[in-house]
């Protein structure tokens, strides 16, 4: 597992995280789950139920987003016969604590284990997929590496192999930190990921260059992997610019590679 702790300097974290404390009441078709991750610190997750037999996508959002932003997006996943669970980070939404890069992968493990347990308890058991958008790719890649036997597949949207590459790309000051060592650790972890993977990226993304998606695609150890470059899309408009193709490819990927027979389940 990559050690991101050398990057947890105030001047770096100020560029990486944009926590918001926005929240909404839980919608009628959803339920919230509070996951303890540290002493007096819990992370909030929200699960949007479309249909019991459908598979679940556990989603880790981008750095300027919060769980409640997905109240209006979840129906788009439901339209594609996918249930959606979204996890916040420390300091985001109603979650406690302060976000750091080192905590992202550790907290993701706690979130995953709590989410899996809760879904089983509620008898939602038709497959679990991990998806990470932008910053969320750190969490998603960690889980794809650690929980391959419990996951159907991995989806990365507007993501990257290593946070160090984005730090370099954006010119964020990181003097005295061995960025190459952290990058090597990330590349080595990605090489060991074997579950089916779908990489989605905007052609005109200037925050996370499209080359990062290509590097991730090439570096993944997955035998079954796909790369979708959304033409004319940037970093924050990829879902709207590529709307039809984005969700069609996501649905087809899940149906094709799922081990739980999703294609014939639900309506």
What pTM did the predictor assign? 0.95
Q: What is the pLDDT of residues 92-145, one digit of tens each?
A: 999 999 999 999 999 999 999 999 999 999 999 789 999 999 999 999 999 999
Residue 170 C-beta-side C-alpha neighbours within 13 Å? 16
**Residue spans per domain, the chain:** 5-257
Q: What digits encode the pLDDT tens for the residues 242-263?
A: 999 999 999 999 999 987 544 4
The tens place of each residue's pLDDT in the chain, 267 residues long, gives: 899 999 999 999 999 999 999 999 999 999 999 999 999 999 999 999 999 999 999 999 999 999 999 999 999 999 999 999 999 999 999 999 999 999 999 999 999 999 999 999 999 978 999 999 999 999 999 999 999 999 999 999 999 999 999 999 999 999 999 999 999 999 999 999 999 999 999 999 999 999 999 999 999 999 999 999 999 999 999 999 999 999 999 999 999 998 754 443 444
Token digits of residue 56? 């679940």
Q: What is the pLDDT of residue 264?
A: 38
* Domain topology for 5-257: Rossmann fold (3.40.50)
pLDDT at 260: 54
Residue where the block lists tokens 């159907």: 152
């Amino acid at each position: 597992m990559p050690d991101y702790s050398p990057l947890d300097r105030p001047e770096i974290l100020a560029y990486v995280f944009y926590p918001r404390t926005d929240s909404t009441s839980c919608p009628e078709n959803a339920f919230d789950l509070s996951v303890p991750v540290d002493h007096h610190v819990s992370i909030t997750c929200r699960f949007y139920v479309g249909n019991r037999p459908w598979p679940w996508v556990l989603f880790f959002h981008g750095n300027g987003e919060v769980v409640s932003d997905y109240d209006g997006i979840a129906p788009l996943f439901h339209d594609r016969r996918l249930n959606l669970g979204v996890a916040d980070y420390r300091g985001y939404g109603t979650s406690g604590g302060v976000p750091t890069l080192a905590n992202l992968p550790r907290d993701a493990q706690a979130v995953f284990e709590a989410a899996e347990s809760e879904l089983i308890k509620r008898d939602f058991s038709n497959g679990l997929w991990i998806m990470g958008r932008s910053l969320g790719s750190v969490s998603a890649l960690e889980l794809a590496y650690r929980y391959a036997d419990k996951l159907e597949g991995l989806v990365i949207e507007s993501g990257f192999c290593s946070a160090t590459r984005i730090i370099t790309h954006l010119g964020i000051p990181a003097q005295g930190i061995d960025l190459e060592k952290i990058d090597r650790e990330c590349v080595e972890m990605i090489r060991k990921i074997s579950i089916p993977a779908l990489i989605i990226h905007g052609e005109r993304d200037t925050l996370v260059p499209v080359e990062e998606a290509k590097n991730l695609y090439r570096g993944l150890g997955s035998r079954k992997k796909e790369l979708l470059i959304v033409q004319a899309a940037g970093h924050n408009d990829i879902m709207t610019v590529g709307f039809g193709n984005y969700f069609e490819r996501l649905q087809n990927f899940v149906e094709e590679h799922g081990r739980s027979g999703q294609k014939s389940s639900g309506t």
